[in-house]
Amino acid sequence: MNQQNEENIDLDEMMFLSILYSFHAAAMQSMGKVVNPMTGKTERNLEAARGSIDAMLMLQKKTQGNLSEREDGTLKQIINELQLNFLEEAKKPTEETEETTATEDDTSSEDEEESKTDDDNFAVQCFEHHLQRIRVGILTR
């Protein structure tokens, strides 16, 4: 019975880590860091990447105190990596970070472009603040 319980824990841990790696892959793909296997193209969609990172932050919050050492360490490592990559992408000039989707309209107004830039700047500020808090040890527990 004890061995079966250990196998279930290992299976649960593997499934949890699989979920984390799925979010990681989706975020990296959305940041244009890896090729979309469905289209064969590198595409950027920072809002989608932000959504994946936010989902992982929510998982971290909701599972706090219930994770194995490996799960907790992996989750923290992936979140930190994604936030640093997001910050790098968000700091790139606007023309390099525009979403490259088939439904995007090439005739967007200057106001929309300015709004996107403001949103990206806000996101950069939020992530810089969050990363600074991690560096001083406030969120590492």
CATH top-level class of 2-135: mainly alpha
The CA distances from residue 10 to 30, 68, 78, in Å, are 30, 10, 20
Mean pLDDT on 112-138: 54
Q: Is the pLDDT of residue 66 over 90?
A: yes
Q: Please state, in angstroms and rounded to a whole number, the distance separating the CA atoms of residues 136 and 79.
A: 16
Model pLDDT, residue 92: 86
Domain ranges of the chain: 2-135
What are the residue ranges of helices labelled H in 31-109? 46-62, 69-91, 94-97
What predicted TM-score, i.e. pTM, was given to this entire model? 0.62
Q: Bigger pLDDT: 8 or 25?
A: 25
Model pLDDT, residue 87: 94
Q: Please state, in angstroms and rounded to a whole number, the distance separating the CA atoms of residues 51 and 56.
A: 9
The CA distances from residue 65 to 14, 15, 58, 77, 136, in Å, are 18, 18, 14, 17, 21
Counting residues of the chain whose pLDDT is more than 70, the rounded percentage is: 60
Model pLDDT, residue 71: 94
Backbone angles phi, psi at 24, to 5 degrees: -60, -50
Q: Is the pLDDT of residue 135 over 50?
A: yes
Mean pLDDT on 77-92: 94
